[in-house]
Amino acid sequence: MKKFPFLLFSLAFWGSLAAQDAAQFRNPSVRFRPRPLWFWNNATVTKEGIDAQMTAFRDRCGYGGFSILPFGPDLRPKYLSEEYFELYAHTADQARRLGVTLSLYDEYGFPSGSGGAINADGIPRFRNRYPGLTLKRLDKIEDEAQGGTTYIRPVSDAGRLMAVVAMNTQTRERIDLRDRIAEETVVWKVPDGRWKIMQFVCVEDGDPNMDYLSEEAAEAYLSMTHEAYCKRMPDVFGTTIDETFFDEPTLYRAQGRCWTPSFNEAYAERYGADPSLLYPALWYDIGEETCSARNALFSLRAELYASAYPKAVSRWSAAHGIRATGHQDNEEIENPVGTSADLMKCFKYQDIPGIDKIGGDRPAERFYKVVSSAAYNWDRSLVMSETYGAMGDIPWDSLYRIAMDQYTQGINILIPHAVWYDDTNVTFRPELSHRNPIYRDGLYEFNTFLARLNVLLRNEARYVTDIAVLYPIETMQGEHRFDGPLTAYEGGVRIPDMDYVQIGRRLTDRLGRDFMFLHPELLSESCRAGGKELLTLDNERQYNTFGTLIVPSSKTISVANLEKALALFEAGGLVVFTTRMPEKSTEPGQDARVAELTERLLPRPMRESGRPNENKRGGRVVFLPDPTAEALGKALGSRTEPFDVEWGSSPRPLRYIHKQLDGKHLYYLANLDDRPFDAEIALKGKMRLALWDPHTGAIAPLETKTVRRGNSTVTTVPLQLEAFRSAFLVETK
């Protein structure tokens, strides 16, 4: 059996490890090896069982640690009991002796937020201890009244009254009726016309999980979970325990209408105004202000969601010398407003954004780029995926293919799902341990492969691309509404003509063009363009200059975003609009400015005739009403500068990611096809390269040539990759 040298975990070492460390690549140390979820499932867990399993998982499977997931009604000892903490402390001590590390999973099962049950009756611990801090729901109590009548209705006492608004059903005129409340009753003389009178009330939902929009609830949850561990074993945090993990919070609970009592105060603090007259837009078309009103309300809700538990747990983790990761539920919903609020912004304050790739009809792979882009947008480098859960006993080719797909799209922490304490009682297959005869003989080799990927990609390297795709959350917020036609679990509303997911897949899968999603907030606040400067994301680590900006189908957009697109065009860059041109502004009263800017970018006669707008600097604006891969390729091919990677004569590009660390370039390329790849590729710039094979650990120099392409220098490389194989191209100095 192989033994690993003990190597104390260090965040500083993890962040600064030289990507070209050949010795680590050939024989990765324990810190780079993957750490699976370890289900303590429906069993009596003992110290002897823990010691035996941890040793076998390390030596026979090649794992470098674990994330203990308490699970199932028959687990003994009882979750968060003193006996449980004693066993957990023993596990941490054994991990220290074995030289492996732990990630603190924060819940009993999932989702994070209830604290598990306190007794056999199933009473949720969090609701029992903090009954006022559980999930809240926004309800609408509605009547209709005809002009000339007097409307009389008691104010609801079901919860906190957020607004009372009357809306004319024809003109959309809205009137705030709070000053018509006397003795807890609304009394209003109805003007001419037909009116809806609506009370908006924030009520207790009955869901036992914490209020996901409340910082107070998040802090209470941390005191009940993380603090309970730290109080009993403070010395293991920042050493043996180096990470926290939360699992599947979401806003589709509470009938898809999660709200919080302090929302109006938060709105006033952010916008300097009262939101009462905007509340009807959460359900109805209120006229010209609909899109801007929904953006104001839903973007604030997204900010509250991001700054509650993810921010609180990241802050707590940093104070204890570790990092926080976790993922949302239902990441694969195209319109995230009803699930994660905003699948990029929900990671704004999180150390390590994450995603969950599981079985069933759950195509999380379509959203890897959203999550990894969120990390880069907010200047982070690490991206997590919980992977393989509920996929069944999939073949080795699938295990490798999924991993390669993830790592080429920015993921660099793959958490295998899972190993089980009682492997005769597995709820979600596959069981990825030596006890499973399907994987026994190849698991150590596979985990060594993952470790080699981690050696080169799990660091503070800069992600490099020259194509930005606007994340169209403003359009999705503008079209979303409560109680939409889909179930709350599905997100409530499907947005017409939405194409950002398809655009992303066509770029990577069909054209071999890597890209970064840019959040509208970052495009407005953290990017600059103009004069001779192309679009530049001005981060400290994850900075990039983009020569191309793609604006996917967008009905609603901010004026600031369009101004940045115009500045890029005037500086000589390429701007591509797809499917639908913007027409509505996120800011009230600015629709005319949106129309003016779109006309300057691409005058209507050009748009309707299919002609591009071009300027003397080489700037170009294109509208693709039908953005097929062929149409996208033609539009991108109009650039005078070569792309980051060119695929030569190959009709099938590879999937790849390009990073730069300490001034050296690094490319990870994967052949996800069942046919070999054999072509000469070209990399932008002049460099000497070596090929590092993560499947074997072999390192060999490459024959390269330097040639001129237009005004640029490129390095050509002959490359051969068998089906389901991958390779690193590493710059040597």
pLDDT above 70: residue 4: no
Q: How far is 373 from 421, CA to CA, in rounded Å?
A: 35
Q: Classify the phi-psi angles of 667: left when phi > 0, otherwise alpha if psi is within -120 to 50, otherwise beta.
A: beta
Question: Could you read off the pLDDT of 465-482 as tens digits, one per residue?
Answer: 999 999 999 999 999 999
Check residue 243 and give its pLDDT.
Answer: 98
Residue 420 near residue 389 (C-beta atoms within 8 A): no
Residue-averaged pLDDT of the chain: 95
- Going by pLDDT thresholds of 50, 70 and 90, the confidence category of residue 11 is very low
Residue 200 near residue 279 (C-beta atoms within 8 A): yes
What is the side-by-side order of every strand in the sheet holding 384-389? 354-358, 384-389, 413-416
pLDDT above 60: residue 9: no
Q: How far is 570 from 327, CA to CA, in rounded Å?
A: 39
- Record the tokens describing residue 220, joined without a space: 């209470």
- Record the tokens describing residue 467, joined without a space: 């194509």
Q: Classify the phi-psi angles of 96: left when phi > 0, otherwise alpha if psi is within -120 to 50, otherwise beta.
A: alpha
Check residue 215 and give its pLDDT.
Answer: 98
Q: How far is 437 from 159, CA to CA, in rounded Å?
A: 56
- Going by pLDDT thresholds of 50, 70 and 90, the confidence category of residue 119 is confident
Question: Could you read off the pLDDT of 198-239 as tens digits, one per residue?
Answer: 999 999 999 999 999 999 999 999 999 999 999 999 999 999
Question: Could you read off the pLDDT of 697-730 as tens digits, one per residue?
Answer: 999 999 999 998 878 899 999 999 999 999 999 9
* pLDDT, average across residues 331-360: 97
* pLDDT, average across residues 624-643: 91
Question: For the structural domain made of 645-732, what CATH number should be given?
Answer: 2.60.40.1180
pLDDT above 70: residue 293: yes
Residue 533 near residue 390 (C-beta atoms within 8 A): no
Check residue 23 and give its pLDDT.
Answer: 93
Question: Could you read off the pLDDT of 526-581 as tens digits, one per residue?
Answer: 999 999 899 999 999 999 999 999 999 999 999 999 999 999 999 999 999 999 99
Judge residue 345's burial from the number of C-beta atoms within 10 Å of its C-beta, 0-12 exposed, 13-18 middle, 19 or more buried: buried
- Long-range interactions of 493-496: CB distance < 8 A, separation 24+: 493/335, 493/337, 493/338, 494/334, 494/335, 495/334, 495/335
Check residue 6 and give its pLDDT.
Answer: 25
The domains of the chain are located at: 11-115+226-247+382-459, 463-636, 645-732
Query: What is the percentage of the chain residues whose pLDDT exceeds 90?
Result: 92
Check residue 371 and give its pLDDT.
Answer: 98
Q: How far is 663 from 666, CA to CA, in rounded Å?
A: 10
Kindly state the DSSP code that residue 433 receives in the 8-state scheme.
Answer: S
Check residue 16 and give its pLDDT.
Answer: 37
- Its CATH class, for the domain covering 463-636, is alpha beta
pLDDT above 90: residue 55: yes
Judge residue 693's burial from the number of C-beta atoms within 10 Å of its C-beta, 0-12 exposed, 13-18 middle, 19 or more buried: middle
- Going by pLDDT thresholds of 50, 70 and 90, the confidence category of residue 12 is very low
